[in-house]
Amino acid sequence: MVSTISLADYLRKASERLPDEAERVLKTLLESGSMNKEDLSLSARVKRAVLDHIIMQLYALGLVEISTEGKSKICSATKLGDEFYSLVKAG
Question: Domain holding 73: CATH number?
Answer: 1.10.10.10
Question: Are residues 73 and 41 in contact, defined by beta-carbon separation less than 8 angstroms?
Answer: no
Residue 2 within any structural domain of the chain: no
Residue 21 within any structural domain of the chain: yes
Residue 76 within any structural domain of the chain: yes
- What is each CA distance from 8 to 27, 61, 88, 90, in whole angstroms? 18, 13, 9, 11
Its domain, for residue 24, covers: 7-90
- Cα atoms in the 13 Å half-sphere on the side-chain side of 40: 30
Q: Is the pTM of this model over 0.85?
A: yes
Residue 56 within any structural domain of the chain: yes
Q: How many domains does the chain have?
A: 1
Could you report the per-residue pLDDT of 52-91, keeping only the tens digit for each? 999 999 999 999 999 998 988 999 999 999 999 998 887 6
Could you report the per-residue pLDDT of 5-29, keeping only the tens digit for each? 888 888 888 899 999 999 999 999 9
